[in-house]
Structure 1
Amino acid sequence: MRLRVLLVMVLVICGGCSFGRDGKLRQNHISSQVEVGTDKGEIYFDEKQAKYVPAVELFTVAAVNPDLAFMEGEDLEYNVHTRWAEERLGIRIRYLWTLPGSSENFANKLRLELAKGKLPDIVTTRDREIIQELIDSGQFREVGSLFEQYASTVWKQAMNEQPSVWDFYEREGEKYAIPILDYEYNSDPLLWIRTDWLKKLGLPVPATIAKLEQVMEAFTRSDPDGNGKADTFGLTLGFRNGASTWMGDSSWIFGAFGTIPEQWNRQPDGSLAYGSTQPGAKQGLALLKKWVKAGYVSGNSSWLDEEGAAALFTSGKAGIIAGPYWMRGWPLSVLTDNEPEASFQAIAIPSGPEGHTGRRGTLPDNGAILINKKMKHPEIFFKYQNYLFDYYATGTGEFATGFAKGYDWAEVDGKPESDPTLLPLGGVRVSSYTLTFDGARIPSQVVKAIPDDILPVLFQQQGASMKDQFTGPPTLTMRTSWELLHMLEQKTFQKIIFTDSPLSEFDAFVDLWSSYGGEQITREVRQWKQAE
């Protein structure tokens, strides 16, 4: 909480500023020229041209990932996609401000602007905590009726694939944020393993935790990179943001013992229980502690985030990492760019001592869109997003080959090619420039996105995919106690794994978790499930 206050104080100082592509502070001139969150005058959508004439402005805000690539002279507000939106739809996308870096900084900036009442037409974010705060502020409008009125048939059909996707964003039966749909299995982890190291050391692909330990022993002790130094790790994990995360994940280790941490899992009797407090979590912690002590996992993993964990793999210092199917394109391709002789492949999650396999499952949404009550013409956003669902999500029309020629695809002998070597910067992911981060996704269309050689690896363990079973809004006690409980969990797990603290601290943690509100939260979660 003290850190949050300090961050907000810093943002107060920089309240009228934004940041350029280079991360440098720049003065924000937009907020002094327009009334935030409003449209000026009447608008006209020309049905014949299928665009607004004249162009209308749509204001938003954003956090700029440092890995986001731009062509020379382009940035988040001026690029091939924003030009497309204005030319094709007559929608000029404007940013009141942007911040580089973490979602935490973005959330704190939003809190500051929320207090001032200076918010854009729409806010899109993946941060579930700040989404709830924005809904509770009362400054954003009910969107269920807007969705019914303005969303296209394709978008509605996509949303209907998982109707419960709305649950987290509801208040008393009303919808206050539009879920950003994600592909099925999009963040389910697989194991990525150095096959050249396996071949060099004469090792088979491990199918069990016991066999995996043999591989990690060899990757750690047998100099797989051949440099004569003991400088490699069997496995790389990122524990800074928790045990269950999108890259450098360790949920599958706990899954080998029948539980997934940091989420609510279905028990044999049908009730819901918090995974981090179950007996299987203690077994997972014991195994991780053993691996760190043996040197299979870096002791620095406690402060490595997802990209830090991946960097150990891409720099050739670790032989295994857990993460989604799409990691081969980024960031793992960095390894083969630097070491062309290196090779890796995706393998199935190994089973535990009693045959269990489990991994964090992908929720049907990955963020949400909130619409400011002051926005006079919310249909502007729907015109934009409908087009992306109707054509980009379905891979038809002008998006049949990609987002933009010369960015994510090239033409060779009259045929479209997506070979990165043919493209500037190795290809630019234009969908990252869109207001919803990935363009538009229909959950069931994931099979079109997964490479053919990875598809059977991912789908052969469909039963191992364990989704969070609590998808409703925070319960009453969660609102007052969850931050404390989460901090207690993080601190305890890291102490057990990375220090000499005994495993018995887990039992003390479970008792504290229950007494500090966890027991009441469990009752509330189960009541929510019964009322579904």
Structure 2
Amino acid sequence: METKKLWKTTMMALFACTFVFASACSNNSAAPSGAASGAKKEEENNAVAKGKYDNPITLTTVGRITPSTTFKNGETMEDNVHTRWAKDRLGINLKYLWTASTQNKAFETRLRLALSANEPMPDVIAVDNIQLANDLIDSGQFLDAKSMWDKYASPTYKKAVNEDPTMWYPFTRKDGVYAIPIPDYAWNNDTVLWIRQDWLDKLGLKGPETLDDLEKIMDAFVNQDPDGNGKKDTYGITMALKDSFKSTQSTASFVFGAYGTIPEQWNDAADGTLSYGSINPGSKQALQRLSDWVKKGFVPKEAGLFDESKAAELFTSGRAGMIAGPYWMDRTPLINVKKNVPTANFKAYPVPKGPDGKAGRIGTQNFSGAVLINKNAKNPEAFFVYQNYLFENFALMQSDEFKYQFAEGYDYALKDGKVSYDSKDIPGGRVIPQKYTIAFEGARIPSSAMESLGNLAKGGEPRNNFERKDSLFSDALRYQGVSVNIDSKSYSMRDKFIGIPTKTMKTRWENLSTSEAQTFTKIVYGDLPIDEFDNFVKKWKSSGGDDITKEVNEWYSSVKK
């Protein structure tokens, strides 16, 4: 196959490159010297080039088990279809020093205890918390990973990370970069507006383009009995305002976006610096708008008590006409509205524009964590043998080995010659082996998910196994939501401060955040006048906000160099 030829050629080229520059490799405290050192370097280069160790090696790590990480056939994190694959395919024995659940921060707590007790760290470790990654870096036990990545990472792996160089920012120090970012799908959690299309059709309305259009629709949804039950018991939109104004699902952030800002994050300022979105003048206008909507009954008064799931229940029960969140909400949880209201029909629309023609929505970060490599690892290059293979083969399922997904009988089944991802067709049910991998989800290229779904949404034929898989999971509603999401890329605003808390943040941020949440909620519910926003901004600045802004921008300037 052409893919196999390409892989062979790529690996030969990579081998040639790493062999030529072997003498420039940084030494490691556990490395032998003299002729033995040269032999070891050759062995390392051979393993990276071939994608396998002829003489199996052991790579130690620790395991984080999320609620969605499930097992069957008596398997565990330490012994499963993935660990056996790593040994057979790559010559790598994955050894877990310990495992812990991510629930209630058990994994993070266990790791911090290991740090404080000076327990030996594993050869490689993956974390999804930027602060925790930097605490590990501060321990002095991990390598400058960027130099190893430059040397050993495969072409597809490099392409994935190079799509967004800012991934490196949180792990960058003056003397090096000490963790490798874990790429994740781009635009995955960016906001679209889901609207009950059957209500629009019944009332003879079109989808909104502006906030004014949206307000007219919400007025009709509240006052013109769209569900036809003769009662005034419907809402224009449901929102989750209990914990945040920029939640992922059931979010209110797009209202702020219509005025040029996103709250609770650091956005680009006109002068090239970063500014805190919640003190932007646009936030005052957004709060005024939300307050008006609550007074008019467009937003339920209980929204201040709703978390994301509770807010979604109002939509799925058939009582709310709109909800804002990611494109994938069509399945979970919004599809449940059809169980409660069989005639319900909903579609995705772009977030509306504000008075000045602006539109803004939450932007998804393109990475989900980082991997650190121990200075004392006997085979520090082993992570690249492992991860290169996944990027070159699994990321787009380009090889026959991963034609359908990770492993037959686990995440898919072949039934009558056709692939099925239905749990009922898989003996023992469906589990996801890619969740057992070191970097959480196998290997992800940020642009690949939207490129895949976008091609299918346009009616294109699947171009690779990745798209064949997506085509089996997707339907017309998914494609419609994807198309809106892709067409709205220019509206996305990612949080630009992705570093660890600054000096002043450590002592002042909690109080500032509490004050912000209380002030914003009281303004929205009419307990404070809108002009109280100006007092909030003055107090925010004088209570550490100005110092934090300076520190954030000092960080931003340092990592952009």
State whether TM-score is above 0.5.
Answer: yes
Alignment partner of 1:147: what SS?
helix
Matches within 5 A, 1:121-520: 121-222=123-224, 224-225=226-227, 232-336=234-338, 341-397=343-399, 398-418=401-421, 428-445=431-448, 446-450=450-454, 452=457, 453=479, 454-472=481-499, 474-498=501-525, 500-520=527-547
| Cα distance change, pair 433–192 in 1 and its aligned pair in 2 (3 A) | farther
Q: Which residue identity is paired with 2:345?
A: S
2 CA distance for matches of 1:468 and 1:123? 25
- Equivalent pairs counted in the alignment come to 491
1:39-63 residue CA offsets vs partner (Å, 9 max, x unmatched): xxx9x99968935755735321315
Quick one: distance in 1 between partners of 2:230 and 2:408? 46
1:275, CA displacement in angstroms? 0.9
Which amino acid is 1:395 matched to? M
Q: CA, structure 1 residues 246+372, in 2 after alignment: closer, same or farther (shift >3 Å)?
A: farther
- 463-472 or 341-350, larger mean C-alpha shift: 463-472
Cα 1:308–1:55 change in 2 (3 A) is farther
Q: In structure 2, what is the Cα distance between the partners aligned to 1:75 and 1:223?
A: 53
Which position in structure 1 is the counterpart of 2:551?
A: 524
Counterpart amino acid of 1:469?
Answer: K
Which residue in 2 is equivalent to 1:23? none
Q: What letter is aligned with 1:523?
A: K
| Distance in 2 between residues matched to 1:207 and 1:185, nearest whole Å | 21
Of stretches 385-394 and 267-276 in structure 1, the one that deviates more from structure 2 is 267-276
**Superposed CA offset, 1:459-507 (max 9, x none):** 3233212223345555443444334433333333333334623333322
**In structure 2, what residue type is equivalent to 1:267?**
A
- Decide whether aligned partners of structure 1 residues 214 and 56 sit closer, same or farther in structure 2, where only a CA change above 3 A counts: same
**Separation in structure 2 between the aligned mates of residue 161 and residue 395 of structure 1, nearest angstrom:** 19
Structure-2 separation of matches of 1:203 and 1:231: 20
Q: Secondary structure at the match of 2:447?
A: helix
AA paired with 1:513? W
Residues 74, 497 of structure 1: alpha-carbon distance in 2 compared, 3 angstrom cutoff: farther
TM-score (norm. length: structure 2): 0.76
CA distance in 2, matches of 1:52, 1:469: 44
Contact 1:285 1:496 in 2 (8 A): yes
User: What's the CA shift for 1:154?
Assistant: 1.6
Change (3 A) 1:524 1:59: closer
Alignment correspondent of 2:62:
60
Deviation at 1:241, TM superposition (A): 4.0
Task: Give the Cα separation in 2 of the matches to 1:74 and 1:215.
Answer: 52
How many angstroms apart in 1 are the aligned matches of 2:335 and 2:55? 44
Structure 1 counterpart of 2:118: 117
Assess if the C-alpha contact under 8 Å between 1:144 and 1:175 holds in 2: yes
Deviates more, 1:206-215 or 1:50-59: 50-59
Specify whether residues 407 and 173 from structure 1 end up closer, same or farther in structure 2 by C-alpha distance, changes over 3 A only: same
Q: Say if 2:179 and 2:372, in contact at 8 Å, map to a contact too.
A: yes
Amino acid at match of 1:438: E
Partner Cα distance (2:204, 2:427) in 1:
39
Q: Taking structure 1 as reference, are residues 329 and 274 closer, same or farther at Cα in structure 2, changes over 3 Å only? A: same
Secondary structure, aligned partner of 1:350: coil
Shift of 1:385: 1.7
Q: Which amino acid aligns with 1:204?
A: K
- Which digits, 9 at most, give the CA deviation of each residue in 1:13-69, with x for residues without a partner? xxxxxxxxxxxxxxxxxxxxxxxxx9xxx9x9996893575573532131522x555
**3-state SS in 1 of match to 2:245:** coil
Post-superposition offset of 1:512: 2.1
1:177-232 residue CA offsets vs partner (Å, 9 max, x unmatched): 21111223222111122223333444322222222223333444555455666554
For 1:76 and 1:340, the matched residues in 2 are separated by 41
1:504–1:351 Cα change, 3 Å: same
CA RMSD of aligned residues (A): 3.5
How much has 1:352 moved relative to structure 2?
Answer: 1.4
CA distance in 1, matches of 2:428, 2:222: 34
Task: Give me the whole-angstrom Cα distance separating, in 2, the residues matched to 1:166 and 1:391.
Answer: 24
CA distance in 1 between counterparts of 2:233 and 2:76 reads 39
- C-alpha change, 1:258 and 1:435, in structure 2 (3 Å) is same
- Measured after TM superposition, the shift of residue 281 of structure 1 is 0.8
Q: Structure 1, residues 409-463: CA drift from partner, whole Å, max 9, x if none?
A: 4434423345677567995444334332332111232311456133431232332
Q: Which moved more, 1:332-341 or 1:520-529?
A: 332-341
Displacement of 1:357 = 0.6
Could you tell me which residue of structure 1 aligns to residue 17 of structure 2?
none
Q: For residue 447 of structure 1, what is the amino acid of its counterpart?
A: E
Q: Give the Cα separation in 1 of the matches to 2:170 and 2:533.
A: 30
8 Å CA contact 1:170, 1:473 repeated in 2: no
CA distance in 2, matches of 1:121, 1:527: 33
Alpha-carbon offset, residue 278 of structure 1? 0.6
| 8 A Cα contact 1:447 1:455, kept in partner | no
Report the more deviating stretch, 510-519 or 469-478.
469-478
Instruction: Check whether the contact 2:59–2:379 (CA below 8 A) recurs between aligned residues.
Output: no
Q: Given residue 489 of structure 1, which amino acid in structure 2 is its aligned partner? A: E
Change (3 A) 1:297 1:388: farther
2:443 corresponds to which letter in structure 1?
Answer: A
Percent identity of equivalent pairs: 44
Is the CA contact 2:100–2:106 (under 8 Å) kept in the aligned structure 1?
A: no
Q: 1:443 aligns to what SS in structure 2? A: coil
**In 1: Cα distance, 2:370 partner to 2:317 partner:** 34
Give the match's secondary structure for 1:132: helix
- Amino acid of the residue matched to residue 415 of structure 1? K
Contact 1:169-1:473 at 8 Å conserved across structures? no
Question: What secondary structure does 1:369 align onto?
Answer: strand
The secondary structure found in structure 1 opposite 2:550 is helix
